[in-house]
């Protein structure tokens, strides 16, 4: 039996700033811009932070205020919710930053509402305000594991229902964890066939020179497990002697056309 490889990568966090971290973009006070009225529409709410960045207003609010804030902004003129998604800050701050991307056709501008959801906390569903939140929230749940309260059908949308783990978290390995590695084998054949079928070959350029079974030997084909014939077949498509009723093309009797007919 093959030695069991137990490497539970799902618990390990890989987050670190490995890449180039760009300089912070310029942030402008909202009250100096055209977004002044937009922010004022959120009058009595607690706003943690707000600024204008790349011609978009960004407002940080409390997690429990998301319904109220979006309703006020919708009434102000942000008719469309284009996107909901999250950013994984589990390693740094112990939660996920959820953002709502809004578009106003009436005022011709965009705004972003952000809130911070700690791990294990619930977020209110905004499907009552925006229909488009329905799928976006399911995706948020599927990919980040943010639990949404009040959603009518909170289940996986992109991954299979019995998938383990949340793929867009920074702690999730790109090539999948131990569960992902065996998913289709476990599901279709059962765990007992793991040894027979084997691990996924993640290196698509890998050539096992000792493997004489699984490569298609053109013109040397044999059944699985059978010995390949010593002599190669004739390297031509048509069989020697031809197929019954089909004439064999003779290689030496061709004719080159001077021009297209």
Question: Which positions touch other proteins (CB under 8 A)?
Answer: 158-160, 167, 172-177, 180, 183-185, 187-189, 193, 196-197, 200-202, 204, 214, 216, 218, 221, 223-225, 237, 239, 243-245
Query: Closest CB to other proteins among 197 and 249?
Result: 197
Pairing between strand 147-149 and 122-124? Answer: parallel
Q: How far is the CB of 90 from other proteins (least distance, A)?
A: 18
Pick the closer one to other proteins by CB: 51 or 182.
Answer: 182
Give the nearest distance from C-beta 224 to other proteins in angstroms. Answer: 5
User: 49 or 217: whose CB is closer to other proteins?
Assistant: 217
Q: How far apart are CA 159 and CA 227, in angstroms?
A: 42
CB of 31 to other proteins, least distance (A): 45
Q: Residue 68 has which token pair?
A: 């109220």
As a whole number of angstroms, the distance between CA 220 and CA 234 comes to 10
Q: Which of 22, 190 has the CB closer to other proteins?
A: 190
The CB-of-207 to other proteins minimum distance in angstroms stands at 11
- 99 and 85 in contact (C-beta within 8 Å)? yes
CA dist., res. 116 & res. 60, Å (int): 8
Q: Which is nearer to other proteins, 41 or 85 (CB)?
A: 85
Region for 48 from its dihedrals, namely left if φ exceeds 0, alpha if ψ lies in -120 to 50, beta otherwise:
alpha
Task: Give the shortest CB-253-to-other proteins separation in angstroms.
Answer: 21
CB 172 within 8 A of CB 166: yes
């Amino acid at each position: 039996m093959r030695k069991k490889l137990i490497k539970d990568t799902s618990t390990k966090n890989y987050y670190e700033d490995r890449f180039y971290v760009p300089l912070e973009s310029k942030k402008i006070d909202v009250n100096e811009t055209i977004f002044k009225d937009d922010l004022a529409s959120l009058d009595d709410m607690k706003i943690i932070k707000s600024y204008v960045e790349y011609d978009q207003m960004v407002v940080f609010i409390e997690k429990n205020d998301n319904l109220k804030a979006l309703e006020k902004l919708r009434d102000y003129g942000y008719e469309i919710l284009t996107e909901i998604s999250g950013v994984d800050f589990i390693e740094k701050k112990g939660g996920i930053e959820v953002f709502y991307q809004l578009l106003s056709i009436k005022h011709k501008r965009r705004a972003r509402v952000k809130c911070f959801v700690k791990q294990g906390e619930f977020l209110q569903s905004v499907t009552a305000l925006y229909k488009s939140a329905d799928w976006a929230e399911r995706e948020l749940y599927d990919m980040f594991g943010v639990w949404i309260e009040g959603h009518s059908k909170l289940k996986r949308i992109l991954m299979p229902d019995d998938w383990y783990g949340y793929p867009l978290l920074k702690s999730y390995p790109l090539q999948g964890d131990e569960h992902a590695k065996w998913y289709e084998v476990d599901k279709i054949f059962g765990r007992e066939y793991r040894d027979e079928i084997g691990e996924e070959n993640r290196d698509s350029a890998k050539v096992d020179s000792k493997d004489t079974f699984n490569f298609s030997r053109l013109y040397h084909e044999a059944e699985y497990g059978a010995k390949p014939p010593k002599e190669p077949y004739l390297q031509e498509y048509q069989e020697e002697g031809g197929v019954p009723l089909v004439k064999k093309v003779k290689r030496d009797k061709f004719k080159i056309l001077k021009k297209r007919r």
